[in-house]
């Protein structure tokens, strides 16, 4: 046996260097293929986790555990942020991922929040009127996501209508705010028609043309204030999340109609997307650069993610910058 071992060892030593290098290259290629395969699968895994959290929220809300359901929707929003970022970081932005993300968002931010409101607000006591009013939220959220997939918005840095994650977050924060006031076991004593009207209002704001700030142009970490302000906001939210998340969500929901009325009263207007693209092209031309063809500016919408119906080129341009279905991740 020792003779065989020595013989094979001598054969290996006599093996040319080129053969050893070739074998190492093959091993590296197999390792790279495995790594690339996981990277391409990661965004879909995160989107599936988003979908699973939304489904879990529906199950818990149907069983009366509205607090756990609200946490599940919050977790779904976190996964919705991560899947779009993972797709861009790994270079795996695809039409399939965008459509899958949009479907997951419909469940997590369209169906699950409606179920949560239906049981938490005791809207079921209204009978058929209650479920119709609650369903209107789900229908509006679905239309909102479909509109976003074909048109990212009419104005620079603005969404057309309330983003679906923001609407879902408003319902979740309302459940937390109620627990902050009286606890999870005691009701507020509000008539069920009030939560039903609130849910309908959120749905209508999602399909409305009212512009909402997208915060896309904020660049955190590029200056001292851009670093400090997010830290301060995070500390404030963490100190009393049940109260502060509700106040922040309410302020954002109201900011759309309030800004719209203020602009109508003062005569001010927002910068349309086409004009913003032309201004960018003129600036590059003035700097001596080759003028580029104006492209629609991608507005995210917390990505996978409106206005009038857009074109295929609009969708393609947005898919180059991120997953087209997401409204929260950018």
51-100 pLDDT, tens per residue?
A: 999 999 999 999 989 999 999 999 999 999 898 888 888 887 888 888 89
d(CA 76, CA 142): 17
Q: Which pLDDT tens digit goes with each residue over 191-212?
A: 999 999 999 999 999 999 999 9
Asked whether residue 12 is domain-assigned, the answer is: no
Give 152's strand partners: none
Report the number of distinct structural domains present in the chain. Answer: 1
Q: How confident is the model at residue 308 (pLDDT cuts 50, 70, 90)?
A: very low
Asked whether residue 176 is domain-assigned, the answer is: yes
d(CA 71, CA 88): 27
DSSP H helices in the chain:
2-13, 17-62, 66-90, 95-106, 112-120, 128-150, 164-182, 193-207, 224-239, 241-266, 273-286, 312-321
The boundaries of the domain holding residue 143 are 23-277+293-321
DSSP assignment, residue 211? E
With a cut of 80, say whether residue 14 has pLDDT above it.
no
pLDDT of residue 17: 60
- Tell whether pTM > 0.85: no
Using alpha carbons only, what angle is made at residue 239 by residues 236 and 245, rounded to the nearest 5 degrees? 65
Burial of 148 (0-12, 13-18, 19+ CB in 10 A): buried
Which of 48, 39, 49 is CA-nearest to residue 88?
39
Mean pLDDT, range 172-199, rounded to an integer: 87
Asked whether residue 104 is domain-assigned, the answer is: yes
Q: How confident is the model at residue 159 (pLDDT cuts 50, 70, 90)?
A: confident
Asked whether residue 15 is domain-assigned, the answer is: no
Mean pLDDT, range 295-319, rounded to an integer: 45
Give 158's strand partners: 213
How many angstroms separate the first and last alpha carbons of the chain? 64
Provide the token pair at 48: 């599936």
With a cut of 50, say whether residue 321 has pLDDT above it.
no
d(CA 317, CA 298): 7
Asked whether residue 140 is domain-assigned, the answer is: yes
Q: Which pLDDT tens digit goes with each residue over 210-256?
A: 999 887 666 665 666 667 777 887 888 888 888 999 999 999 999 99
Asked whether residue 284 is domain-assigned, the answer is: no
Mean pLDDT, range 28-47, rounded to an integer: 70
Asked whether residue 1 is domain-assigned, the answer is: no
Q: State the CB neighbour count (10 A cutoff) for residue 184.
A: 11
Asked whether residue 96 is domain-assigned, the answer is: yes
Of 14-23, 98-107, 177-186, 300-309, where does mean pLDDT reach its minimum? 300-309
């Amino acid at each position: 046996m020792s003779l065989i071992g020595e013989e094979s060892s001598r054969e290996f030593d006599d093996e040319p260097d080129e053969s050893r290098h070739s074998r190492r290259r093959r091993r590296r290629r197999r390792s790279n293929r495995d790594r690339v395969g996981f990277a391409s699968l990661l965004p879909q895994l995160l989107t599936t986790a988003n979908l699973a959290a939304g489904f879990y929220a529906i199950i818990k809300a149907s069983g009366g555990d509205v607090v756990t359901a609200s946490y599940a929707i919050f977790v779904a929003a976190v996964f919705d942020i991560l899947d779009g970022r993972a797709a861009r970081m790994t270079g795996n932005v695809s039409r399939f991922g965008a459509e899958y993300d949009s479907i997951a968002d419909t469940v997590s931010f369209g169906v699950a929040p409606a179920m949560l409101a239906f049981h938490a607000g005791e809207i079921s006591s209204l009978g058929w009127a209650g479920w119709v009013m609650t369903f209107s939220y789900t229908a509006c959220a679905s239309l909102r996501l479909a509109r976003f997939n074909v048109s990212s918005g009419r104005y620079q840095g603005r969404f057309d209508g309330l983003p679906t994650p923001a609407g879902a977050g408003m319902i979740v924060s309302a459940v937390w705010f109620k627990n902050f006031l009286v606890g999870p076991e005691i009701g507020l004593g509000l008539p069920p028609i009030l939560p039903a009207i609130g849910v309908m209002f959120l749905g209508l704001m999602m399909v409305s043309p009212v512009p909402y700030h997208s915060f896309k142009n904020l660049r955190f970490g590029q200056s001292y204030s851009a670093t400090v302000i997010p830290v301060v906001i995070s500390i404030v939210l963490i100190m009393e999340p049940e109260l502060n998340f509700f106040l922040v969500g309410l302020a954002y929901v109201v900011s759309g109609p309030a800004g719209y009325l203020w602009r109508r009263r003062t005569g001010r207007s927002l910068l349309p997307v086409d004009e913003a693209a032309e201004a960018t092209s003129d600036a590059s031309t003035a700097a001596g650069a080759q003028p580029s063809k104006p492209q629609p500016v991608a507005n995210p919408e917390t990505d996978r993610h409106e206005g009038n119906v857009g074109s295929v080129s609009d969708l393609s341009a947005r898919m180059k910058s991120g997953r087209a279905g997401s409204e929260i991740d950018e």
